[in-house]
């Protein structure tokens, strides 16, 4: 049961020879979600061997070019490859008009459904049997959203050998998976912990780019397994970060600490830095489990069982 994040782009507004503009691929149970789509994203998808055909949902944080200019090439390539599956794109602003001002709708071989975000607070925007994606408004120069990917809570797992041993029927199994004990025909109580094991913990990932620091963000990403938070500037450029609607190394670390996240990824680095070491060291000094991302990095969240309740 996979849950991993592949970094396709880690630069800010200007791509470089080593860092493309913002784009991540989130793989949950072999369902692939593209988050942001900066210039050159389709090149990175090919480079890191991610199938175009597996991407059916794209989440765009905001309509600055370094976060969506790659969509024109991605959509065109999808069509040239003969794609038939529907594509869903989630975004604030009127992205549909921007896309169709460049691409002729009649020449696209598949249906595109644009989901325009315009809400306050946390809202679920995508849901399947096992996955939920929420969006939350950020504080940037234009309307911008963060995304939170989370597995739904699972039921307990039956110990298969116990089914024939106690003659468990379908109704019995359903109750046991919900945490109920079992009473045999002879009236003997069999504890749930003897019949089942705890489910795996729900895993989660939050993507926050671009934003100024603000209190509400902490609640949105609280207890997340992996938080990606932009850290465009080192702390000495806090004034510039404020003016441009971005965050510094300290800002990212403060969110991670206050929200009790397990792992922090920082990126969206300004090209004024030939090395990201200063931003990384400043962040790590405040939040130990910090990683400065590079294009091609893959971060996985392992399976871990919940504990039996005492």
What pLDDT digit, counting tens, does each position of 71-99 carry?
999 999 999 999 999 999 999 999 999 99
79 and 147 in a single domain? The answer is yes
59 and 182 in a single domain? The answer is no
192 and 279 in a single domain? The answer is no
The catalytic site residues sit at: 66
In a domain, 305, yes or no: no
Q: Which pLDDT score, from 0 to 100, does residue 208 have?
A: 98
Which helix (H) or strand (E) covers residue 59, if one does?
strand 55-59
211 and 192 in a single domain? The answer is no
Domain that holds residue 63: 3-154+200-300
**Domain count along the chain:** 2
12 and 59 in a single domain? The answer is yes
In a domain, 309, yes or no: no
In a domain, 307, yes or no: no
In a domain, 225, yes or no: yes
- Both structure tokens of 1: 């049961």
Q: Which pLDDT score, from 0 to 100, does residue 166 have?
A: 84
Identify whether the C-beta of residue 217 lies closer than 8 Å to the C-beta of residue 208.
Answer: yes
Does 253 or 1 have the greater pLDDT score? 253
What 237-246 contacts at long range (C-beta under 8 Å, 24+ apart), as own/partner pairs, is 241/212, 242/212, 244/141, 245/139, 245/140, 245/141, 245/210, 245/211, 245/212, 246/12, 246/140, 246/210, 246/211, 246/212
175 and 35 in a single domain? The answer is no
Which residue carries 């931003």 as its tokens? 279
From CA 35, how far away is CA 25, in angstroms rounded?
A: 6
Q: Which pLDDT score, from 0 to 100, does residue 194 have?
A: 86
50 and 165 in a single domain? The answer is no
103 and 236 in a single domain? The answer is yes
170 and 274 in a single domain? The answer is no
Q: Quick one: pLDDT band at residue 310, thresholds 50, 70, 90?
A: low
Q: Which pLDDT score, from 0 to 100, does residue 167 have?
A: 87
Does 169 or 299 have the greater pLDDT score? 299
187 and 239 in a single domain? The answer is no
130 and 250 in a single domain? The answer is yes
108 and 74 in a single domain? The answer is yes
Instruction: Read off the pTM.
Output: 0.93
């Amino acid at each position: 049961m996979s849950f991993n994040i592949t970094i396709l782009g880690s630069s800010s507004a200007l791509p470089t020879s080593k860092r493309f503009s913002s784009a991540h691929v989130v793989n949950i149970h072999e369902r692939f979600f593209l988050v942001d789509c900066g210039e050159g994203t389709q090149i990175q998808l090919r480079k890191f061997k991610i199938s175009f055909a597996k991407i059916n949902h794209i989440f765009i944080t905001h309509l600055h070019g370094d976060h969506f200019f790659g969509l024109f090439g991605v959509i065109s390539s999808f069509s040239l490859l003969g794609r038939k599956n529907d594509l869903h794109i989630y975004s604030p602003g009127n992205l549909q008009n921007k896309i169709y001002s460049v691409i002729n709708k009649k020449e696209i071989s598949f249906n595109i459904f644009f989901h325009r975000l315009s809400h306050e607070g946390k809202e679920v925007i995508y849901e399947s049997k096992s996955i939920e994606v929420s969006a939350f408004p950020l504080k940037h120069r234009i309307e911008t959203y963060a995304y939170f990917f989370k597995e739904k809570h699972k039921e307990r797992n039956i110990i298969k050998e116990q089914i024939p041993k106690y003659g468990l029927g379908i109704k019995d199994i359903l109750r046991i998976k919900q945490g109920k004990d079992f009473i045999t025909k002879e009236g003997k109580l069999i504890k749930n912990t003897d019949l089942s094991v705890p489910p795996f913990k729900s895993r989660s990932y939050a993507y926050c780019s671009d934003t100024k620091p603000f209190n509400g963000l902490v609640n949105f990403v609280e207890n997340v397994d992996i938080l990606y938070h932009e850290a465009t500037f080192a702390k000495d450029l806090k004034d510039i970060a404020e003016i441009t609607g971005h965050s510094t190394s300290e800002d990212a670390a403060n969110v991670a600490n206050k929200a009790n996240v397990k792992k922090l990824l920082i990126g969206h680095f300004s090209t004024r830095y030939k090395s990201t070491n200063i931003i990384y060291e400043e962040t790590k000094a405040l939040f130990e489990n910090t990683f400065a991302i590079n294009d091609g990095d893959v971060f996985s969240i392992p399976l871990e069982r919940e504990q039996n309740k005492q």
